């Protein structure tokens, strides 16, 4: 898994919004874990708002997605260690 990510699900517009939410959550998580300073997650948040995704993905679903992404990302980090985890994602993150 590299900076981007998340399988897409749902209808066309909801599907896009769910993907944006998953990508936001993933990048926000690696920003915190790896101390990345590119604010990529902020750009995804802006896109989420501009596409009016708040009306398509309710708060409960947003919270569920964030928790799922955090758990999966933490599991990946724990399997390889923080240093290697951050190295794997650094280039992809900074290229977004």
| pLDDT of amino acid 7 | 40
* Residue range(s) defining the domain that contains residue 41: 12-94
Tell me whether residue 89 is in a domain: yes
Dist. CA 96–CA 92, nearest whole Å: 7
Percent of the chain with pLDDT strictly greater than 70: 86
Q: How many domains does the chain have?
A: 1
Q: At residue 1, does pLDDT exceed 80?
A: no
Dist. CA 34–CA 89, nearest whole Å: 9
Tokens at 8, concatenated:
């897409």
Tell me whether residue 3 is in a domain: no
| pLDDT of amino acid 4 | 46
Please give the C-alpha separations between residue 17 and each of 26, 28, 30, 39, 88, in angstroms, as whole numbers.
14, 16, 20, 19, 26
pLDDT one-digit tens code per residue, 37-76: 989 999 999 999 999 998 889 999 999 999 999 999 999 9
Q: Is 39 left (phi over 0), alpha (psi -120 to 50) or beta?
A: left
pTM for the model stands at 0.81
Tell me whether residue 6 is in a domain: no
Tell me whether residue 77 is in a domain: yes
Q: At residue 35, does pLDDT exceed 60?
A: yes
């Amino acid at each position: 898994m590299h900076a981007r990510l998340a399988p897409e699900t749902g209808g066309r517009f909801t599907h896009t919004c769910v993907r944006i939410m998953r990508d936001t959550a993933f990048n926000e998580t690696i920003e915190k874990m790896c101390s990345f300073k590119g604010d990529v997650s902020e750009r995804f948040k802006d896109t989420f708002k501009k596409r009016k995704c708040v009306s398509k993905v309710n708060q409960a679903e947003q919270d569920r997605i964030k928790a799922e992404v955090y758990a999966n990302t933490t599991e990946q980090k724990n399997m390889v260690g923080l240093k290697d985890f951050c190295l794997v994602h650094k280039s992809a993150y900074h290229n977004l």
